[in-house]
Amino acid sequence: MTTILVVDDEPVVRDVVVKYLERDGFTTVEAATGDHARALIEEREPSLVVLDVMLPGMDGLELCRWIRSRADLPVILLTARVDESDRIVGLELGADDYVTKPFSPRELVARVRAVLRRSRDDRPPTGAIDVGELRIEEGARRVTRGGAELALTAKEFDLLWFLASHRGLVFSRETLMDRVWGYHAAVDTGTVTVHVRRLREKIEPDPSAPTHLQTVWGVGYRFAP
């Protein structure tokens, strides 16, 4: 059973999100504070967290950082902020998606499904890709470099696996949003840029001169064969 944790200090927002998620077949649990959400994560082990940024006490960004330090748990951030820097901070902390209030509940449910489709539990065991010291195992969702395991978020792994599976081919940011994030919507493609930068910091010996994740200027990104 797929359980979604909805964290928002506004009861009306929680009620709407829960209503649409449960109508779509999900089980939900709710929290109004970061501390309560943290306890529920440890107790209920949800499959995904819909997380408001502006929370009393421990805010959403701090909770997202805590989640990333402990588990490969997908996170979709909700916020009333429209500043691009706020979105970038959330994505750099490891959020899988970012939705700005006010939002369409149906679109939020679609994004939840898209993130879950590419999460660990929904992917069948398949093969592995070896490139130099880098090994990418799809079934185990594990990446190692020189035998040392790297800590990747769920979306970072999805992006890396997609590009590595199509070595040598160039994909635009719009195409990557559609193929990796799993939906086509008016989403800031800067999300892709943020994830590529984070991946380079983890898999490249020299992130400033990447040998694997290369930029093709004016076009997009490719995984070098």
* 3-121 placed in CATH 3.40.50.2300: yes
* All residues at 6 or more sequence positions from 5 whose CB lies less than 8 Å from its CB, including other chains: 28, 29, 30, 31, 37, 40, 41, 44, 46, 48, 49, 50
In the chain, where the domains are located: 3-121, 125-223
* 125-223 placed in CATH 3.40.50.720: no
pLDDT in tens, the chain (225 residues): 689 999 999 999 999 999 999 999 999 999 999 999 999 998 888 999 999 998 988 988 899 988 887 777 899 999 876 666 666 777 777 788 888 888 899 999 998 988 888 665 444 445 788 888 899 998 888 999 988 999 998 889 999 999 998 888 899 988 888 788 765 544 567 888 999 999 999 999 999 999 999 999 989 999 987
